[in-house]
Amino acid sequence: MTEIEKIKRYIARTGVGYKDTSPYHMRVAEAFALADMGGEINAVSLAFEYGRAKGYRAAKAERKAVAK
């Protein structure tokens, strides 16, 4: 399994992927602006979703630790 496949799986297992209607999703204009800096649009989008998934899980773990 490649690192990209692992990242996509992580996002899917977290449940905060592309179908989520959160106001924290990256806007198309933001993605294109970042891609213009030298990144590929899909890579920029994947990186954003991965960061969101990591943050979601971190917050969830923190809430769980506090509840104990």
Greater pLDDT, 31 or 51: 51
Quote the mean pLDDT of the chain.
82
Q: Considering the chain, what percentage of its residues have pLDDT values greater than 90?
A: 6
pTM for the predicted model, two decimal places: 0.62
Please state the rounded mean pLDDT for residues 17-39.
74
**Number of domains, the chain:** 1
13-18: long-range contacts, CB 8 A cutoff, minimum separation 24: 14/53, 14/56, 14/57, 16/49, 16/52, 16/53, 16/56, 17/49, 17/53, 18/49
In the prediction, which pLDDT does 24 show?
A: 67
pLDDT for position 32: 81
Average pLDDT over residues 61-67: 88
Find the domain containing 19 and state its range: 3-67
